[in-house]
A and B are shown apart, each in its own frame.
Chain A
């Protein structure tokens, strides 16, 4: 099947408006007869469910957690971008578009990104109207901060809990529709397959995670908003339950999976401390506004610090290597995430890591505390302020800005980051790859949509900070509600989709067969055993840098591990009950397939772009080297075993932006 991105004709700034002016609409009376399933209730799914219900469709929403409010969007800390130009620092729709395409290393679809930049301003208006308490200045207007990879301040925030506040906004909009009966909410439910009737997505099979019942749900369209697949690495900043199952199931039923190898490894996470570790914790990128990243210049100091003979605060300025400021003077500590992560790895690989494992660098706030302290002393007319007073004044400012993040760090690491620099190291955070969608956010299966992190569309090979929240809400509030209407206008006479049909019988049988296998397979190893092994293969061979040999090994290793899994996995308990191990087994089974496709995709992409760094393709200075012949989206078609997947290419055409070397120097 040829890939058609269905990007409308015309100048880029008019595409979306023209598109909206010419699509088919469904009249309000007919919307009442149309059902839509939304899987996932994070920023994308929650905002989509609320908006579709408000338009008059009957929405069924599904979440594996006990409430839509718990989706992992809630953990996003730093902020959300919007081209409001409230700071008057030269921001515009075009500049946000430009920064996002460049930040993504010229591997995203131009028209989608432009639309995203265009609707970004609406998101802020919408959220304020919903009562989202964004940070404000003393004049009562909205405050902004800067994020990596850009030269303007366009990031709106609510302390270090922006994702929480935006999700609670979407959740409140959902609550209004749940109260009106327009959203039927299925908490503690997991989608286990999509049902296709005559080639169109017409429903899902879901498992009630409390009772274990298998349920059939039909609809005229299905929207997947199930988030990213970072947990394929076992350790990531994702929630424990975050999984690829919904996205992978639709892939197996005909939806192409795009660019699985594009993974974001976030530079500022708390380093791992031991084998028992269950997840990694992110420290917001916003900290790089004020924190300076460094390692010691001299190996002797590194050793002294590791052995506890020296403290980081003992080192003078001259003895520190602020390597980001050294290598990238223009952007300094605010280079994009992929660049910052690789630079940290480069220093640690060279032996300069500052903790026992050698995998940590410093994030230091001393300079910021000093700077803010002096500023405050001036504001408060304190003459000849002592160092202690300056420190006290400065600490108060840093605390107001990042207090909750500092507290979180202290609770986990048991060190006071106001007194001693934080230790950080990169960790898997976000997946730019995902289900392939066209301009309408529809997958290669008619009636099956994919939004938010689960799709591939807007971030190319690297996502800029504060852009995930923007994309999730843009897709859910402002894009999908239009595009899905165009599709559903053909369904006004279809009537309710029955669930007592062969298509549902077959899908349900597949699901129950697999569950029965798990509960009856008396293997010898736990689900986590396999998940951890998979994670190690992924981190070692498909991590921050990749090479041909490692990727080939990864494909073999994962394939072998998967075979062992299906022989040896042990799942205690039964199927008709609350059984977390059973749910986990299904998710890990899917990760074991995705991981192999991931490695295959990374192997085929013989270039470095954004988060995908192939050691064979780098500049003399160790920067990522793109190759013109790979200026396309890799969309994989499922053909049985992951290694047999067939590659389809969507060429990326840039008409409104000049493709050049991505430099932050």
Chain B
């Protein structure tokens, strides 16, 4: 198929960006979206132009590196996938596709479609861990039974890949799905109980400091999340926070 691409080009964080039109031809429906971008970049390199910068790495939907806001949706029109898993069969011959970076005050653009998501790391530094030494002298792994339901629910929360689609999709640029998922994972496990109070307070404080907005329950984050992280995690985080503040 033949496509028109409208892509955000921005030289660096200090320069103003703009949308630029490109044409690509003979795109196979079996290509992934990023392979289509590879075709465009090969075309640009061969004609001596600078390729479009975009983040990507594992190309199997797990590293969380790829981003892109495609036709007004984080990771594009398909559900339950990252941009690297989005396939061109979701588009039609002759389509015009708009491709922008994830936009949020807390995610400044580095170049073209590449944004800086280190705010997520800093929230994790504030409390996204259990303070246990890595010595291997902990108790036996089976010493504390954990209900299958709790373990499964913790796993569902822990599948977050930290891509930032929730922030990009939210009209308030809220990171509460991301933070809620991490808080929930530990809140659901006995190992996480000891520090639960400090953890939720510190992570939420850092989240606010980074300039992420608040949650107004529109649920866009859950819809666009490539890993299907549930809004329940935000509710659980709020409960944990209230508990922590009142105790």
With contact pairs A75-B62, A119-B136 given, residues A172 and B110 touching in the complex (Cβ less than 8 Å): no
Q: Which chain B residues numbered 69 to 121 have a C-beta less than 8 Å away from chain A? A: 78, 80-81, 85, 87, 89, 110-111, 114, 116-118, 120-121
A478 contacts partner chain B, Cβ-Cβ < 8 Å: yes
List residues of chain B with CB within 8 A of the CB of A88. none
Q: Indicate if the CB atoms of A72 and B158 lie closer than 8 Å.
A: no
With contact pairs A136-B146, A175-B129, A274-B28 given, residues A131 and B189 touching in the complex (Cβ less than 8 Å): yes
Minimum CB–CB distance for A71 against chain B, Å: 8
List residues of chain B with CB within 8 A of the CB of A278. 32, 34-35, 38, 59
Minimum CB–CB distance for A420 against chain B, Å: 17
Minimum CB–CB distance for B117 against chain A, Å: 6
With contact pairs A135-B151, A412-B85 given, residues A67 and B138 touching in the complex (Cβ less than 8 Å): no
In terms of DSSP, what is the predominant structure of the interface of chain B? loop
Stretch among A137-145, A329-337, A635-643 lining the B interface: A137-145
Q: In this complex, what residue of B is CB-closest to A66?
A: B117
Q: Indicate if the CB atoms of B65 and A168 lie closer than 8 Å.
A: no
Q: Which chain B residues numbered 144 to 199 have a C-beta less than 8 Å away from chain A? A: 145-148, 151-152, 154-155, 158-159, 161-162, 185-186, 189, 191-192
Task: Select one of B64, B117, B151, B191 contacting A136, CB under 8 A.
Answer: B151
Minimum CB–CB distance for A273 against chain B, Å: 5
A445 contacts partner chain B, Cβ-Cβ < 8 Å: no
Stretch among A147-155, A381-389, A446-454, A574-582 lining the B interface: A574-582
Q: Indicate if the CB atoms of A276 and B53 lie closer than 8 Å.
A: no
List residues of chain A with CB within 8 A of the CB of B57. 65, 70, 72, 239-241
Minimum CB–CB distance for A568 against chain B, Å: 12
In the bound assembly, the distance between CA atoms of A158 and B141 in angstroms comes to 14
List residues of chain A with CB within 8 A of the CB of B132. 126, 129-130
List residues of chain A with CB within 8 A of the CB of B51. 572, 580-581
A376 contacts partner chain B, Cβ-Cβ < 8 Å: no
Q: Indicate if the CB atoms of A161 and B159 lie closer than 8 Å.
A: yes
Minimum CB–CB distance for B210 against chain A, Å: 14
Q: Indicate if the CB atoms of A175 and B128 lie closer than 8 Å.
A: yes
B56 contacts partner chain A, Cβ-Cβ < 8 Å: yes
Q: Indicate if the CB atoms of A281 and B141 lie closer than 8 Å.
A: no
Q: Indicate if the CB atoms of B64 and A69 lie closer than 8 Å.
A: yes
Q: Which of B56, B59, B147, B152 has the most A CB atoms < 10 Å from its CB? A: B59
With contact pairs A51-B134, A278-B59 given, residues A172 and B80 touching in the complex (Cβ less than 8 Å): no
Minimum CB–CB distance for A518 against chain B, Å: 13
Q: Indicate if the CB atoms of A239 and B59 lie closer than 8 Å.
A: yes
B209 contacts partner chain A, Cβ-Cβ < 8 Å: no
A12 contacts partner chain B, Cβ-Cβ < 8 Å: no
In the bound assembly, the distance between CA atoms of A488 and B38 in angstroms comes to 46
Q: Indicate if the CB atoms of A74 and B58 lie closer than 8 Å.
A: yes
Interface residue count for A (Cβ, 8 Å)? 80
B139 contacts partner chain A, Cβ-Cβ < 8 Å: yes
Task: Select one of A125, A141, A171 contacting B138, CB under 8 A.
Answer: A125
Q: Indicate if the CB atoms of B65 and A125 lie closer than 8 Å.
A: no
In the bound assembly, the distance between CA atoms of A411 and B80 in angstroms comes to 9
List residues of chain A with CB within 8 A of the CB of B42. 526, 528
List residues of chain B with CB within 8 A of the CB of A75. 58, 60, 62-63
Q: Indicate if the CB atoms of B65 and A66 lie closer than 8 Å.
A: yes
List residues of chain B with CB within 8 A of the CB of A241. 57
List residues of chain A with CB within 8 A of the CB of B148. 136-138, 140
A128 contacts partner chain B, Cβ-Cβ < 8 Å: yes
In the bound assembly, the distance between CA atoms of A185 and B122 in angstroms comes to 11
Q: In this complex, what residue of A is CB-closest to B158?
A: A133
A218 contacts partner chain B, Cβ-Cβ < 8 Å: no
Q: In this complex, what residue of B is CB-closest to A574?
A: B50
Q: In this complex, what residue of B is CB-closest to A188?
A: B110
List residues of chain B with CB within 8 A of the CB of A274. 28, 30-31
In the bound assembly, the distance between CA atoms of A47 and B50 in angstroms comes to 38
List residues of chain B with CB within 8 A of the CB of A69. 64, 121, 162
List residues of chain B with CB within 8 A of the CB of A580. 51, 53
List residues of chain B with CB within 8 A of the CB of A134. 141, 151
A54 contacts partner chain B, Cβ-Cβ < 8 Å: yes
A380 contacts partner chain B, Cβ-Cβ < 8 Å: no
Q: Indicate if the CB atoms of B141 and A125 lie closer than 8 Å.
A: yes
Q: Indicate if the CB atoms of B191 and A165 lie closer than 8 Å.
A: no
Task: Select one of B31, B45, B61, B118 contacting A570, CB under 8 A.
Answer: B45
Q: Indicate if the CB atoms of B87 and A412 lie closer than 8 Å.
A: yes
In the bound assembly, the distance between CA atoms of A237 and B128 in angstroms comes to 29
List residues of chain A with CB within 8 A of the CB of B145. 136, 139-141
In the bound assembly, the distance between CA atoms of A51 and B137 in angstroms comes to 13
Q: Which chain A residues numbered 554 to 578 have a C-beta less than 8 Å away from chain B? A: 570, 572-573, 577-578
Q: Indicate if the CB atoms of B151 and A572 lie closer than 8 Å.
A: no
Q: In this complex, what residue of A is CB-closest to B126?
A: A179
With contact pairs A239-B58, A412-B85 given, residues A72 and B136 touching in the complex (Cβ less than 8 Å): no
A352 contacts partner chain B, Cβ-Cβ < 8 Å: no
Q: In this complex, what residue of A is CB-closest to B38?
A: A278
Q: In this complex, what residue of A is CB-closest to B123?
A: A175
Chain A residues engaging chain B, CB cutoff 8 angstroms: 47, 50-51, 54, 65-67, 69-72, 74-75, 84, 86, 119, 122-131, 133-142, 158-159, 161, 164-165, 168, 171-173, 175-176, 178-179, 185, 187, 210, 237, 239-241, 273-274, 276-279, 281-282, 407-408, 411-412, 414, 477-478, 526, 528, 570, 572-573, 577-578, 580-581
12 chain-A/chain-B pairs, Cβ below 8 angstroms = A66-B55, A71-B63, A75-B63, A131-B186, A131-B192, A161-B159, A176-B129, A237-B60, A278-B32, A526-B46, A572-B45, A578-B110
Interchain residue pairs A-B with the least CB separation, the first 6: A140-B145, A122-B136, A172-B129, A129-B138, A133-B155, A128-B141
Beyond A240-B57, A278-B38, A572-B44: 18 further Cβ-contacts under 8 Å?
Answer: A66-B118, A69-B162, A84-B142, A125-B136, A126-B136, A127-B141, A133-B189, A168-B158, A171-B124, A187-B121, A239-B63, A240-B58, A273-B30, A407-B80, A411-B80, A412-B85, A526-B45, A572-B45
